[in-house]
Amino acid sequence: MSRWPGKLLDASSPEGRTDCEIELRDDALVALLPEGREVALPLPTLALQRQGYSRDILAFHTAGTQQPWITTRDPAILAALKQHPRGSGVLGQEREQRWKSWVNYAVRPIATCVVLALVGTWFVLGPLVGLALAAIPTSVDVKLGEVSFASSLEQLGGTEVHDARVVEPVRQLLEPLVAQVPKEHGYQFELHVVRSDMVNAFALPGGKLVVTTGLLREAVSAESVTGVLAHEVAHVTARHSMRSLLKQVGLWALMAAVFGDVSGASAIILQQAASLSSLSFSRDMELEADRNGLEMLRTAGQDPQGLRVFLQSLSAQEKDLTLPAFLSTHPMTEERISTLESLADAQGPVTTPRPVTVDFKALQAALPE
């Protein structure tokens, strides 16, 4: 029967450890001490751990107990356990323990570093985006809107409507809203009505506003359209598209803008114009546009319930699984409806209402088929 050199770690020993020989028997791993004493660890409850800096110390003990321990550096004992009818369970537990140790010593630190890096990037990126946004003039927003306008219309798959019976009433709804934006901010608001069955409206950076005939047809009132327009104007003035693009262009462009190379940063941003159509605004951006749009409506003396009514009408279609394009690019419908209701209730009625004079039925009758 094979024996392997080892040590017994036991509080009953004078120095806490004693040299011994180790023997594997049918039912136990046994430490044979010089004075003839034996200490046996039953195989059914035997557990194995690797210890030492190089993990080359094989330490055996009874699971759930602190002592005694039988240790050896001789790997031949592992081969004997593998051949032993009751030894495979010990090795299986050891492999599991080794995996957990590897996770603790290797995977977990790496994962922690990755998480810390991501968190660090998040905390760095947020302030940098704000600083870069302040450094980049709104003229870049205007240029970005011009560059991306043609591709945006192409994606709608429609042609622009120039019929004054359609365009002018919508322009009348828009004018009291854009009149509130100071000229020195540099935005150039333009209204474009596009022939498309999609129920959609969106704002490009700088002030180009696109409204589809599908939206005008589905809207229940002029006040609903005004609410949508206020929301889109608020996206422009908050520079949400530019903010979203800045999060995509990377730290180099952000740093360039922050430290004075505005032209270099602007060039990188303009190269991203094609990705504007795939951007969707965050939850916070949508809610901010709702709040600011609601304030615009109140200042203009318009019904602040218009956007909420529009969203409610589209929400019914959303539940019927016919998701309008407006909801796919302006998500969180139920939350926004609830927020708009709360804000409107808290602010009370408009103090100086200015009734809408647009003949909305005539507008809808003039829409192209």
Q: Helix, strand or coil for residue 170?
A: helix
Distant-in-sequence, close-in-space partners of 45: CB < 8 Å, separation ≥ 6: 62, 63, 64
The DSSP result for 209-242, as a single string, is EEEEHHHHHH-SSHHHHHHHHHHHHHHHHTTHHH
**DSSP category for residue 43:** G
Identified catalytic residue from 232, 288, 303, 320: 232
Token duo for residue 313 = 């009408």
Q: CA angle at residue 207 from 204 to 210, to 5 degrees? A: 55
Task: Render the burial of 236-270: b for 16+ CB within 10 Å, e for the rest.
Answer: bbbbbbbbbbbeebeeebbebbbeebbeebbebbe
Identified catalytic residue from 141, 223, 286, 290: 290
232 is catalytic: yes
**CA distance linking residue 182 with residue 297, whole number of Å:** 16
290 is catalytic: yes
Paired strand residues for 192? 210
Active site residues: 232, 290
